[in-house]
Chain A
Amino acid sequence: MSGPTGPVPAVSLRQVTKRFPETRLDDEVVAVDALDLDIEDGEFFALLGPSGCGKTTTLRMVAGFEFPTSGSVHIHGEEMGHRPPDRRPVNTVFQSYALFPHMTVARNVAFGLEMRDVDRSEARRRVDEAIALVQLRGRGGAMPGDLSGGQQQRVALARAIVNRPKVLLLDEPLGALDLRLREAMQVELKQLQSMLGITFLHVTHDQEEALAMADRIGVMDAGRLVQVGTPAEVYERPRTRFVAEFLGDANLLTADVLDPSRVRLPDGTTARIATDRAAGSAVHLSLRPEQLDLVGPDEPVEHHLDSLEGTVARIGYFGSAIEYDVALDAGGPEVLVTARLGNSRGVVTREIGERVRMRWAPESATVLED
């Protein structure tokens, strides 16, 4: 094991690669590509990415449903190798719940304990406890087919946590729920996790879900981990264009590096930003719409802010926020920059065609790697 001292990570992936045979083309598909990842004990970790990015394959390799083509998976310091799922200290909440349709809720929840021959009275106590924990008291005798989607979700959760796994794997657990229920379950899952202290590895394509629940997020694209960090780090300091665009909305501006602390924007003005890229190289700059502020063209710009001038081209009204798409003076009419202003008291509304100046604090802009 590399690294100096410190606690053993709950899950540790080293150079994990998974290739699947592509039968029709007589070729191979690389689903996961040399992945390195450490998940700390007790952490709520979200693997975030679009479908096909390899996040579910990664989870399935931790669960033992797939084995890495190369590389190693450690759970609490133990090498998993080709150990089958029934001999791993992890449990999974499946996307489609995968409840056993021929067993009652209570028997579904008791299944893992039964398979490990846990003492009968002890098992009953723990099953009752788990069912109460997911607020399904009194539904133990129901069949899964008679429950709503949200209730089935809770049964799946109870069935996994009743075993007190070292790591709980969640494969898009909220994907099949409607929006309201999903938001309520986000809060509950988070509470449950901090209460139980179990490490959660949560796979999702929903960036809001990841931002709202996770302690740390790993963003995946094409089998690779692009960036790992806290929700704030990943959202506010996206490393690449992919991360900037996948998490929330981002305005991407092209700029030329002047020196390590300044870049030149399309309209020739300079903006202050820290970068280690060589002077003269063309870079992309990411600006979050909510970090932009609109003022009239004649208003003075405080010296600690940077700004760009343009004309309001489109207005989107979202109730709690108003979005203005501004066409920049430089770069042609097709370069639109979006500013999102909270619809709070005292906000000045603009009209289409109105001249505006967009301002931002230099530290809210990020130079992207590609």
Chain B
Amino acid sequence: MSVLTTVRNARRTVRREPEGVQPRGRVARLLSLHGGATFLFLYLPIVVLVVLSFNDSRIVGVWGGATLRWYRELAGEPAIFTALRNSIVVALVSTVVATALGTAAALSLERFRWRGRRAFDGLLFLPVIIPDVTMAVMLLLLFVQLFDVAGALFGLRAGFGLGTITLSHIAFNVAFVAVVVRARLARLDPRLEEAAADLYAGPWRAFRHVTLPLIAPGVAGGALLALTLSLDDVVITSFVSGPGSTTLPVYVFGLIRRGVTPLINAVSVLMLAGSMLLVVISLTLQGRRGGGALRAAVPGRT
């Protein structure tokens, strides 16, 4: 047994290649067919969208030659840029706040025992499972009540706008960040934090020098998820937005109600490009940071 342990220790640094069996014959053909169909199903709409955004014709089914006309027309719509700016502001603010709160929630759930922990654990994940519409109605009602109270007690006049949108996005994003960070924390050996404390690091320095660097990929992943969810959200945002505080997805949704125009195709392609950029950044970050630290964070005994 002890000899085995040494052998395993020696091998631990070697990256293990996934072992798999190569399928053969009919199974192989069926599998590749299935794979191809899945890809088609996922990516055909994207291809259609991109192609149509360059279509010089107002009618969807007719190809009128390639053009950049719709993109040019976009540039002449100031409302789109306001909506884009709103989206980015809301996404950045809500991501930063939700990441901080979500990470804190994950830490307290994973590392500490306190009264009401189990209840908080269950309640925290409600936003992940309840339908967007329900969440939206709840937030709407809450804000209306709050405005009433604020007006009656302090004479404050507040209304729906970017503030309420940002607060709402924080509310659902905290749960998602907490889930992602917690998964990462659960795999972190708690003795590392004890070792930091043992070596004279107070709680804050232990967190900054040991815990945070080791859960950083999880925190970054949670933040990117929050960013994406915030940029994507239509339902909740449209319930709690006010005049002049439209975000980009809500704006596009509004355009659609007036009929599908090639303009929408162009906006959608730009949004698609933005999302893909985020995904690429996220993958690059995780590839660089994850590797070494990720493997070594698993405690000494394998």
Contacts and interface: CB of A to CB of B under 8 A. Distances in A.
Interface of A: 63-65, 84-87, 90-92, 94, 96-102, 111-112, 115-116, 143-146, 148-149, 152, 159-160, 163, 176-179, 181-182
B13 A96 contact: no
B197 A101 contact: no
Contact of A148 (B10, B192, B213, B296): B10
A85 B191 CA distance: 13
B293 A102 contact: yes
A91 B199 contact: yes
Given A115-B205, A176-B5, A85 B197 contact: yes
Interface in B257-302: 292-293, 295-297, 299-301
A85 B196 CA distance: 9
A91 B198 contact: yes
Contacts of A181: 6
Interface in B18-34: none
Contacts of B192: 98, 100-101
Given A100-B192, A148-B9, A149-B9, A63 B296 contact: no
Contacts of A149: 5-6, 9, 300
B195 A98 contact: yes
Contacts of A102: 213-214, 292-293, 296-297
A255 to B, nearest CB: 39
B254 interface: no
Nearest to B202: A86
A179 B213 contact: no
B197 A96 contact: no
A86 B201 contact: yes
Contact of B296 (A86, A91, A144, A177): A144
Contacts of A85: 194, 197-198
Given A96-B191, A98-B191, A111 B196 contact: yes
Nearest to B192: A98
A115 B296 contact: no
Interface in B163-190: 189
A176 B300 contact: yes
A112 B199 contact: yes
A164 to B, nearest CB: 12
A101 B199 contact: no
Contacts of B9: 148-149
Interface residues of B, number: 34
Nearest to A117: B200
A84 B200 CA distance: 9
Nearest to A182: B2
A332 B26 CA distance: 72
Given A116-B200, A176-B301, 20 more contacts: A85-B197, A86-B202, A91-B198, A91-B199, A99-B300, A100-B192, A101-B192, A101-B214, A101-B293, A102-B214, A102-B293, A102-B297, A112-B200, A143-B292, A146-B13, A148-B10, A149-B6, A176-B300, A178-B2, A181-B6
Given A145-B13, A152-B300, A98 B292 contact: no
A160 B300 CA distance: 17
A197 B189 CA distance: 31
A160 B249 CA distance: 56
A328 B295 CA distance: 59
B210 interface: yes
B72 interface: no
Given A143-B292, A148-B9, A96 B198 contact: no
B111 interface: no
B12 A86 contact: no
A149 B195 CA distance: 18
A146 B12 CA distance: 9
A182 B300 CA distance: 16
Given A101-B293, A176-B301, A86 B198 contact: yes
B3 interface: yes
Contacts of A91: 198-199
Contacts of A159: 199
A145 B12 contact: yes
Given A85-B194, A176-B5, A100 B300 contact: no
Contacts of B206: 86
A97 B10 CA distance: 16
Contacts of B6: 148-149, 178, 181
A306 to B, nearest CB: 40
Contacts of A116: 200
Contacts of A112: 199-200
A111 B2 CA distance: 31
Contacts of B214: 101-102
A15 B2 CA distance: 38
Contacts of B301: 96, 176
A145 B6 CA distance: 14
Contacts of B5: 149, 176, 178
A163 B198 CA distance: 11
A163 B195 CA distance: 13
B200 A94 contact: no
